[in-house]
Chain A
């Protein structure tokens, strides 16, 4: 089936609006993707027709909403090719998913039977230099709480991991390796299986940040082989406020819980409590019910379009954009300049113009891009720049929009010349 971008665009109501009197050109999907009407409807339908709390009411609405919520878990499990639906945990976003892991690991210090997860002085936690702050800060904090050492795999000048460093930084002292599948700041797609294999070889837990990968690449947890994979709903055309942590069942069953409260318990006594089995062990309190259900609809939407079709479309758009941007003088692409192992996110610096000026001027022509360090400040430090301008693409991005970006950037250059 060929991919009909014009038909896809009709699914997204926001794409027909104007900004500053011109049609919106939305090139900020890596920040957050727009929502198709079916996702908006799914959330509204749940509230309008089926709403109650999940998992506790015996009445009809309670049963319908629980069915819908657990149905979303089934959809996500299928999307990830997870061996079991009980391996899918709903979180607020990927930041919470990664913090859940970091706090559960530090709770292992005093949790009976969780000795294998215990970290301490002499142990090492490894990330990469291209991580989002959400995959840096929780691990720095875990290192601080446990006395473990925080380490990272450095970057090459063209925005890839230094290959030799993978085997060197991940060593017999490593207990946790947490890394990004596709970089939000550079667009780089990392060699997930190679890093997972190295982590396994030294007996470390492997965690994949798939926030940017989930909307663009097939995400098969059995094929990737990692211990944990996390993503967020709002970048996958789903609602804000819901994310997913997938983990191997045997690990989740032994991992101490993070948040305590309702629905995560087996039994509660004033003298102590025992905890439910996964996934509910990690879903304390009333969850993001409508958002999870609508995320299930977003997963259906993406699956119906076909993740392979989406990938092919975006790969073509990225190639077109890389070539077009490369033709602009004084524009430096920050990240891989070739369209190999890179996703639909292109960051660049324009000589003599601050990225905030670029973004604001583009906005005056209806073009939405992001400017800043993209919550990956170490990347900017690595390349000696204060910030970048970033254009990122999705299922609805057209070559006309890339042309608008290119002429917009040229207009910015003329103004600041």
Chain B
């Protein structure tokens, strides 16, 4: 397989061996996101402990890009602070909107870890939504969970 391929080995590995797949019984919030062009779907549950993403699990179906990206995202954000998780989401969103012209610094690459493998996807507008599906679901879930905890504290 060429380096040019969208289908980097990391993506295929995550697709075949998805991380954090399965819906945990204990959760603060559940969201369901779909990508109407591909019919990709993801259901995601998330639990916060204070300001940290304590647990996250998901179920989904769809193309390898959507499923692998959700897996990579899960690996990256569990255990991170909410702010760090959202900052990483913003960084990944930038990468996906770069249309193949991203200039990642070493620091970016260190932070994005396996998510760097999706750089090639950014050249294909039709597939960008696939790669973002799980990340957008995580962002909504975090926002909902935060609202919930603010409500409980007030």
Interface residues of A (CB under 8 A from B): 20, 353-354, 356-357, 360-361, 364, 372-373, 386-387, 415-416
Contacts and interface: CB of A to CB of B under 8 A. Distances in A.
B39 A386 contact: yes
Interface string B106-129: 000000000000000000101100
Q: Output the residue of B4, B15, B38 with the most chain A CB within 10 A.
A: B38
A43 to B, nearest CB: 28
Given A360-B127, A386-B39, A354 B5 contact: no
B63 A357 contact: yes
B154 interface: no
Given A357-B7, A357-B65, A364-B6, 5 more contacts: A360-B127, A364-B5, A372-B37, A386-B38, A416-B12
Nearest to A360: B6
A386 B15 CA distance: 18
Give the bracket for the number of chain B residues in contact with chain A: 20 to 34
A236 B38 CA distance: 28
Most buried by B among A20, A356, A386, A387: A356
A53 to B, nearest CB: 37
B98 interface: no
B64 interface: yes
19 contacts: A353-B64, A354-B62, A354-B64, A356-B38, A356-B126, A356-B127, A356-B130, A357-B63, A357-B65, A360-B6, A361-B5, A361-B7, A364-B2, A386-B38, A386-B39, A415-B7, A416-B12, A416-B15, A416-B16
Nearest to A373: B39
B1 A387 contact: no
B6 A415 contact: no
B42 to A, nearest CB: 14
A354 B37 CA distance: 12
B64 A416 contact: yes
A353 to B, nearest CB: 8
Contact of A357 (B16, B61, B64): B64
Nearest to A412: B7
Nearest to B64: A357
Contacts of A387: 38-39
